[in-house]
Amino acid sequence: MTTPVIGLLTDFGEKDYFVAAMKAVILSINPEVAIIDIAHSIPAFDLRAAAFTLWAVADFFPAVAIFVVVVDPQVGSARKIMVARGAKHFFIGPDNGVLSPALEKEGCLEARELRERTLFLPQVSSTFEGRDKMAPAAAWISRGIPFRQVGPVLRSWERIIFPQPGIFKDRIEAEILHVDRFGNLITNVSGEKFLKWYGGKKGQPLAVVTDEVDFEAKIATTFAGGPAEKPLLIVGSSGYLEIAYQQASASQKLKCKAGDKLVISRGKRQKEAEKGKFSGRN
Amino acid sequence: MTTPVIGLLTDFGEKDYFVAAMKAVILSINPEVAIIDIAHSIPAFDLRAAAFTLWAVADFFPAVAIFVVVVDPQVGSARKIMVARGAKHFFIGPDNGVLSPALEKEGCLEARELRERTLFLPQVSSTFEGRDKMAPAAAWISRGIPFRQVGPVLRSWERIIFPQPGIFKDRIEAEILHVDRFGNLITNVSGEKFLKWYGGKKGQPLAVVTDEVDFEAKIATTFAGGPAEKPLLIVGSSGYLEIAYQQASASQKLKCKAGDKLVISRGKRQKEAEKGKFSGRN
Amino acid sequence: MTTPVIGLLTDFGEKDYFVAAMKAVILSINPEVAIIDIAHSIPAFDLRAAAFTLWAVADFFPAVAIFVVVVDPQVGSARKIMVARGAKHFFIGPDNGVLSPALEKEGCLEARELRERTLFLPQVSSTFEGRDKMAPAAAWISRGIPFRQVGPVLRSWERIIFPQPGIFKDRIEAEILHVDRFGNLITNVSGEKFLKWYGGKKGQPLAVVTDEVDFEAKIATTFAGGPAEKPLLIVGSSGYLEIAYQQASASQKLKCKAGDKLVISRGKRQKEAEKGKFSGRN
């Protein structure tokens, strides 16, 4: 029998005992589980950042894994807690959309509302349901309780939908989904779609325009594989197009952040006059 | 047989190898233990913050748990290292008071001085006793050595005593024990005491005065359950009264920090003239 | 059979899912391994800081340990990935010198290039070889695959060589290798060498000169064991000479950082005129 894994993703930061309380509760119920911290430095209440992070990492988890996501601005209110059985993993979190991108990427087999009180701590606070409801439920699921026991079927749930790129013959209208620790800008354009659009003419320069800057970029396959001191376009490790610099922060150099829009087009750098022409999609 | 758990609480931060060295030592002695990081971002040498954190989380740990707390301004000096057997858990740390609130909340069955050299690493430094003495002792205790083996009985030890609130008919004089990651202000007033004082008249506003500001606050049961953009009073997940805002930092908005004092009284916002009237308790 | 341990050391920071992806990959292959985070806050691309950290902690790891170091400015390029079998542990990382100080301190029995594709994830990205190649290889090694299976023998590899101190009759010319979380300055002078140079005359003051400041320092055995508010010289927990203050940051007080040079000599504080006289070694 293999060790089950519980992955924790929160906006609890590093300074409090909150994450430790969840782990302590989990190991009190199932001492044989392995816990992986996905991240706890999600900006407070940033549902989209948490949804992106879960979406990017879930695939890599072993089969017997349960994700517990506690980014929960409405904790204790009437919002539901959902538990979903995906094609590979279990997902637990508030019904505020934070689970949806990862869940729908994997395929949702069944969703239920977490209601079964016997799965909770004996004393339930109204401000820390991660500790009092979600962590113990995850531990019980890791011990193999029947999924239907968690509560009634949930027919619909909140969704977070990542903005889709506009792919046109002459340009791609993209958005930055995430800026990573190195300052790389991860866009919403999948590598597959991008390479299909780009075609076979390798070496052809691309022009990129944002609200702040415009620049010419070259496609590279590694961060070290393009010209130094110039922006690179790379299909990154999440399978999406990234804008990066060799050993420098593209976010700082290009003054870009998550949510910013950009237009990628063939050919040389755009003229000043064309900047800012977004068609306003998404 | 269940897996024992060791909880680590230090002021070692994230940039050095110090925490990893303690874990490596522990797993060298007992590979079957589970380690939970309670927190390592305690401000350097802040005994009270560490004591609060341990006090708030200890209850949630499974029965076979050992806490190792290394916030130790006097490391290597004549101060003793204590090992205590509480009603539920073991506690290891410098005899500087950092263990005392959690230990006394749980009930101390027996305390000893950590002196037994066979429990230490072969080479003991004078500047990292967390690695060289406390971590290995915790690992040996997790393997079930007799408690009396750790060293001689300790008859008394240093104590940190959290300030007690002054509860009067017309007001509560409280102190902020901790500011959490979200900026919520956790006071030293237990929820039980507060609700008894407040009485049954729900909805009655309360006036709060600090050295910096005065404001009117409403009782809520969840962060999302009160008026937006106004301060809320909530009995929080540690069982103590908190001052909070919906999705905003009460610490920033009210300019309050740990150690600040405040007076809570019934009725509308205080007049300017009454501000700052603390009776100087604790 | 004992639980194998994998130690992870990266510059991935805390905000992304990168470390979690590596752990998820590892536990997918070997659910019975224990993972220790050595540090993930290494400054981006700082090979020397990572090399120092691994060098300082490796000794304390249990026998069946595998280090995976991902500080890798040339990820995906022609630089090799090396796997080394040391006298006690396994080491995996880019062939950029980051492993070499720890490996050579322990003694290298055999080094190989990581090339065996069956040890990798089925899909290998060019920008995250830590997840796609190094983490799975570590997991397979922890399961006991024959070492020769990882790839061909590597005859030579990049090295990072820490600067050596100049030890003269009248002075030591040293360099700061690392500034820790408390602001202590860890020099490149081993405690053994230092004490031999210093001789038996305890209490004799020493003069220390840097490019920024000069000061008189006293030898202490613990941070709490010297005069308050004055710099102390201590043989620290890594076995090297440190400059420290009681409960204050020597780095801030003395305006020193990693890489700074200093001269230690016997006797009282140096005259202004002698400052800055470095013989320019290393």
CA distance B37 to chain A (A): 6
pLDDT of residue B199: 86
pLDDT digits (tens, 9 = 90+) for C152-180: 999 999 999 999 999 999 999 999 999 99
Contact A14 B40 (CB under 8 A): yes
Reply yes or no on whether the pLDDT at B157 is more than 90.
yes
Reported as a single tens digit per residue, the pLDDT across A19-71 is 999 999 999 999 999 999 999 999 999 999 999 999 999 999 999 899 999 99
When scoring C15, C35, C37, C47 by the number of chain A Cβ atoms within 10 A, the one with the most, hence best to mutate, is C15
Q: Is the pLDDT of residue C239 over 90?
A: yes
Please state which of the ranges A171-180, B105-114, B259-268 shows the lowest mean pLDDT.
B259-268
Collapse the DSSP code of B261 into the 3-class scheme (helix H, G, I; strand E, B; otherwise coil) and give the result: strand
Query: How far is it, in rounded angstroms, from Cα B128 to Cα B126?
Result: 6
Q: Give the separation between CA C53 and CA C39, rounded to whole angstroms.
A: 8
pLDDT (tens digit per residue) in B39-53: 999 999 999 999 999
Mean pLDDT confidence for A169-178? 95
Annotate chain C with three-state secondary structure.
CCCCEEEEEECCCCCCCHHHHHHHHHHHHCCCCEEEEEECCCCCCCHHHHHHHHHHHHHHCCCCEEEEEECCCCCCCCCCEEEEEECCCEEEEECCCCCHHHHHHHCEEEEEECCCHHHCCCCCCCCCHHHHHHHHHHHHHHCCCCHHHHCCECCCCCCCCCCCCEECCCEEEEEEEEECCCCCEEEEEEHHHHHHHHCCCCCCCEEEEECCCEEEEEECCCCCCCCCCCCEEEECCCCEEEEEECCECHHHHHCCCCCCEEEEEECCCCCHHHCCCCCCCC
Q: What is the pLDDT of residue C272?
A: 47
- The yes-or-no verdict on residue C185 having pLDDT over 80 is yes
Neighbours of B48 (CB within 10 A): 20
Minimum-distance CB partner of B237 among A19, A23, A127? A127
A79 → chain B, closest CA residue = B224
**Residue C200, C-beta contacts closer than 8 angstroms, at least 6 positions apart:** none
Instruction: Please tell me the predicted confidence (pLDDT) of residue A270.
Output: 52
Contact A45 B247 (CB under 8 A): yes
Q: Is A107's Cβ below 8 Å from some Cβ in B?
A: no
What is the rounded distance in angstroms from the CA atom of residue B213 to the CA atom of residue B60?
35
**Cα–Cα dist B44/B71, whole Å:** 7
What mean pLDDT comes out for the span C251-266?
Answer: 94
CATH fold label, C166-274: Elongation Factor Tu (Ef-tu); domain 3 (2.40.30)
- Interface probe for B, chosen from A126, A128, A129, A143 (most Cβ of B below 10 Å), is A126
For chain B, how are helix, strand and coil distributed in percent, rounded to 5?
25, 30, 45
**What does the pLDDT read at residue B226?**
76
Residue of A nearest to C12 (CA): A181
Tell me the pLDDT of chain B averaged across its residues: 92
Is residue A57 less than 8 Å (CB to CB) from chain C? Answer: yes
Q: Are B173 and B210 in contact (CB under 8 A)?
A: no
C-alpha closest to that of A67 among A33, A44, A117? A33
Cβ partners under 8 Å of residue C218, min gap 6? C203, C205, C206, C226, C227, C230, C232, C233
Residue C264 has pLDDT above 50, yes or no: yes
Give the sheet arrangement for strand B65-70, strand by strand.
B34-39, B5-10, B65-70, B90-94, B81-86, B108-113
- Closest-CA residue to B92 (of B70, B73, B75, B62): B70
* Chain C residue numbers touching B43 (CB-CB < 8 A): none
Q: Is C131 on the interface with A (CB under 8 A)?
A: yes
Is a pLDDT exceeding 80 seen at residue B186? Answer: yes
Reply yes or no on whether the pLDDT at B106 is more than 70.
Answer: yes
- Angle among Cα B26, B37, C129 to the nearest 5 degrees reads 85
Does the pLDDT value for residue C268 go beyond 70?
no
Residue A217 has pLDDT above 70, yes or no: yes
pLDDT at residue B146 above 70? yes
Q: Which residues of C touch A14 (CB under 8 A)?
A: 14
Q: Any chain C CB within 8 A of the CB of B143?
A: no
pLDDT in tens, A237-252: 999 999 999 999 999 9
Are B5 and A74 inside 8 Å of each other by CB? no
Contact B24 C5 (CB under 8 A): yes
**Chain B residues near residue A32 by CB distance under 8 angstroms:** 3
What pLDDT, on the 0 to 100 scale, is given for residue B268? 67
Q: Is B14 part of the contact surface with chain C (CB cutoff 8 Å)?
A: yes
The answer to whether the Cβ–Cβ distance between C39 and B16 falls below 8 Å is: yes
End-to-end CA distance of chain A: 46
Residue of C nearest to B36 (CA): C36
**3-state secondary structure at position A232:** strand
pLDDT value of residue A161: 95
Per-residue pLDDT tens for C209-222?
A: 998 889 998 898 88
Q: Cβ A27–B3 below 8 Å, yes or no?
A: yes
Q: Which of A101, A3, B259 is nearest to C30 (CA)?
A: A3
Give the confidence band of C282 by pLDDT, cuts at 50, 70, 90. Answer: very low
Query: Looking at residue B30, what is its pLDDT?
Result: 97
B82 Rama sector, left if φ>0, alpha if ψ -120 to 50, beta otherwise: beta
Neighbours of A109 (CB within 10 A): 12
Domain B5-150 has CATH 3.40.50.10790: yes
Distance CA(A83)–CA(A92), nearest Å, equals 4
The H or E element that residue A24 is part of is helix A18-29
Q: How far away is chain A from the Cα of C27, in angstroms, using its nearest Cα?
A: 7
8 A C-beta contact, residue B97 and residue B133:
no
Nearest CA-CA distance, residue A155 and chain C, Å: 30
Question: Residue A3's closest chain C neighbor by CA?
Answer: C31
For residue B279, the model assigns a pLDDT of: 47
Partner C contacted by B8 (CB < 8 A): no
Measured from the Cβ of residue C110, the count of other Cβ atoms closer than 10 Å reads 12
Q: With CB atoms and an 8 Å threshold, state whether B182 touches A128.
A: no
B74 closest CA partner among C63, C223, A154, A271: C223
C204 at the A interface (CB within 8 A)? no
CB proximity list for A53: less than 8 A, separation 6 or greater: A9, A38, A39, A42, A178, C16, C17
Q: How far is A32 from chain B (nearest CA, A)?
A: 7
What is the three-class DSSP state of B11? coil
* Percent of all residues in chain C with a pLDDT value above 90, rounded to a whole number: 81
List alpha helices for chain B, DSSP H: 18-29, 47-57, 100-106, 129, 135-142, 191-198, 250-254
Partnered with residue C258 across adjacent β-strands are: none
> For testing the chain A interface, which of C46, C70, C75, C126 should be mutated: the one with the most A CBs within 10 Å?
C126
Interface check for A56 against chain C (CB to CB < 8 A): the answer is yes
Tokens of C135: 């983490």
Cβ-Cβ contacts under 8 Å for A156 (sequence gap 6 or more): none
| Inter-chain touch A37–C20, beta carbons under 8 Å | yes
pLDDT value for A175: 97
The answer to whether the Cβ–Cβ distance between C23 and A36 falls below 8 Å is: yes
Binned at pLDDT 50, 70 and 90, residue B223 comes out as confident
To which residue do tokens 């750098």 refer? A269
Confirm or reject contact between B28 and chain C (CB < 8 A). yes
Cα separation values, A130 from A53, A120, C43, Å? 18, 10, 32
Rounded Cα–Cα distance for residues C78 and B164 (Å): 64
Domain map of chain B by residue range? 5-150, 166-274
> CA of A212, closest CA in chain C: separation in Å?
25
**What pLDDT is attached to residue C205?**
82
B38 in Cβ contact with A24 (< 8 Å): no
Interface residue A77 vs chain B (CB under 8 A): yes
Alpha-carbon gap, residue C199 to C211, rounded angstroms: 26
Q: Do C27 and A40 touch (CB under 8 A)?
A: no
Is the Cβ of C3 closer than 8 Å to some Cβ of chain A?
Answer: no
Give pLDDT tens digits for B11-65: 999 999 999 999 999 999 999 999 999 999 999 999 999 999 999 999 999 998 9
The first and second tokens of residue B235, run together, are 């009995």
Q: Pick from A5, A14, A225: which is nearest to C27 by CB?
A: A5
| A106 — pLDDT class (breaks 50, 70, 90) | very high
Report which of B90, B62, B88, B142 is spatially closest to residue A30, judged by C-alpha positions: B62
Dist. CA C236–CA C220, nearest whole Å: 10
Inform me whether the C-beta atom of residue A101 falls under 8 Å from chain C C-beta atoms. no
Which band of pLDDT confidence, cut at 50, 70 and 90, is reported for residue C64? confident
Q: Strands of chain A (E only): list them.
A: 5-10, 34-39, 65-70, 81-86, 90-94, 108-113, 166-167, 171-179, 185-190, 206-210, 214-219, 232-235, 240-244, 261-266
Q: Distance (Å) from the C-alpha of residue A244 to the closest C-alpha of chain B? A: 25
Residue with the larger pLDDT of the pair B109 and B212: B109
C59 interfacial to chain A (CB closer than 8 Å): no
Q: Which two tokens stand for residue A225?
A: 């594989």
Distance between CA atoms of C66 and C100, rounded to whole angstroms?
15
Query: Residue for token digits 């309780």?
Result: A145
Which residue is closest to C24 within chain A, CA to CA?
A61
Q: Which of B3, B7, B234 sits opposite A32 (nearest CB)?
A: B3
Option in A15, A20, A31 nearest B181 (CB): A15
Give the separation between CA C100 and CA C106, rounded to whole angstroms.
10
Confidence of residue B211 (pLDDT cuts 50, 70, 90): confident
Sign of the dihedral through C-alpha B195, B197, B201, B204: negative
Pairwise CB contact (< 8 Å): B27 & C3? yes
pLDDT of residue A208 exceeding 60, the answer is: yes
Report CB contact under 8 Å: B73, C247: yes
Confidence check: pLDDT of B243 > 60:
yes
d(CA C186, CA C244): 9
Contact B16 C181 (CB under 8 A): yes
Say how many residues make up chain A. 282
Rounded to whole angstroms, how far apart are CA atoms C210 and C216?
12
CB contact under 8 A, A181 and C16: yes
Taking the C-alpha atoms of residue B254 and residue A260, their distance in angstroms, rounded to an integer, is 32
Question: What DSSP state is assigned to residue B150?
Answer: G
